[in-house]
Amino acid sequence: MEYLAPRPGGIYVDATLGGGGHSRAILSSISPGGTLIGIDRDPDAIANASRRLVSCEARVHLVRANYSELPEVLDALGIQKADGILCDLGLSSFQLEHSKRGFSFLRDEPLLMSMDGDSSGMTAEELVNAAPEEDLAFIFRELGEEPHARAVARAIVREREKGRISSSLALAGLIHRVKKPFSRGRERIHLATQCFQAIRMSVNDELGHLARLLSVFPGVLAPGGRMCVISFHSLEARMVKSRFRELAGECICPPDLPCSCGRVARGRIVTKKAVKPGAAEVSENPRSRSARLRVFESF
Ligand SMILES: C[S@@+](CC[C@H](N)C(=O)[O-])C[C@H]1O[C@@H](n2cnc3c(N)ncnc32)[C@H](O)[C@@H]1O
């Protein structure tokens, strides 16, 4: 909230509504007279938040949409610019623990992993049972930074020849068996963590949607407004950092040559370095350990 700096009467977007924690904090700062637009691609998040986020002193619009469609969402509400946008990437605790969509490797659930909560897109089960070994290895290596990507992909292909892999626990068990001999009991996190993250990111095209959001947000951010992004993955963090640098007009030409990149500053980077959680926050909320906050302010 300190970085978003919401003020009474302003228009703010919580692009990742989730459990509504951030939205509640924004609402308490923008009342009276402000407007909150809460977006989530998950219909359960919208339904849960509708029950919790009632305000008599501010306008609240909760919209089921992808944040990559932010300009279209605002347009449909008759809003041209927002005074601030907050984006807290990834999965919510609710989705992990209660959605029954196979996000958790600790529960036996159908392998869906769709954040959209419907069957319109590809499911994790389809991906795991149909993708070529090469593609699975690429997904595990690139999105999961999984050191044993090839071995896990090969084991999945062998296993599915015997029968379909259709539950989260079956997949987690298989990954665990493949990785166990390499770990020698030194694992700090569950051995399936990185592969599950990679599958989820692929099924939901998370990097693709983030890329579009980063491309379109300057068009709907009012002068002086801030874009705050909390990322949990190194590829996401890199995308946010490099887009903010581009928007801040940072030249990318070699220092010994005249500038030819033609970048023009459209704002400034507020956080010279990513803001990280302190030790106390991590011990209270271990899931915050990899969170990185970056903030851009529009001219
Ligand atoms: C980390 S949670 C947000 C938690 C929230 N800040 C809170 O205070 O409870 C991320 C949420 O963003 C949603 N989400 C992820 N990618 C999205 C996208 N491309 N468009 C819209 N919502 C998205 C997820 O469905 C999830 O509910």
What pLDDT, in 10s, does the model give residues 188-227? 788 999 999 999 999 999 999 999 999 999 999 999 999 9
- State residue 59's pLDDT score: 94
- Which CATH number does 11-93+206-298 carry? 3.40.50.150
Q: Report the separation in Å between the CA atom of 125 and the middle of ligand 1, taken as the mean of its atom positions.
A: 22
User: Which residues have CB under 8 Å from 129's CB, separation 6+?
Assistant: 160, 164, 165, 166
Is the Cβ atom of 90 under 6 angstroms away from ligand 1?
A: yes
Which protein residue's CA is at the shortest distance from atom 8 of ligand 1?
21
Ligand 1 atom closest to the CA of 66, numbered from 1: 20
265, pLDDT greater than 90: yes
Question: Do 11-93+206-298 and 117-203 come out as alike in CATH topology?
Answer: no
239, pLDDT greater than 80: yes
Mean pLDDT of the chain: 95
The ranges assigned to domains in the chain are: 11-93+206-298, 117-203
Instruction: Give the pTM.
Output: 0.96
Ligand 1 atom closest to the CA of 21, numbered from 1: 8
Which protein residue's CA is at the shortest distance from atom 25 of ligand 1?
42
User: Which stretches of 163-289 are DSSP H helices?
Assistant: 168-183, 193-203, 206-216, 234-247, 279-284
DSSP structure class, residue 273: S
184, pLDDT greater than 80: no
Is the Cβ atom of 45 under 6 angstroms away from ligand 1?
A: yes
Is the Cβ atom of 67 under 6 angstroms away from ligand 1?
A: yes
Helices (H) and strands (E) in the chain, counts: 12, 7
Q: Which residue has the tokens 């149909």?
A: 130
The residue length of the chain stands at 299
d(CA 133, CA 150): 8
Q: Report the separation in Å between the CA atom of 187 and the middle of ligand 1, taken as the mean of its atom positions.
A: 28
Which protein residue's CA is at the shortest distance from atom 13 of ligand 1?
16
- State residue 7's pLDDT score: 96
CATH architecture entry for 117-203? Orthogonal Bundle (1.10)
Is the Cβ atom of 25 under 6 angstroms away from ligand 1?
A: no
State the average pLDDT over residues 106-134: 92
Cβ-contact 85, 15 below 8 angstroms: yes
Is the Cβ atom of 146 under 6 angstroms away from ligand 1?
A: no
From 64, 69, 115, the mutation candidate for ligand 1 (largest count of ligand atoms within 8 A of CB) is: 115
Is the Cβ atom of 226 under 6 angstroms away from ligand 1?
A: no
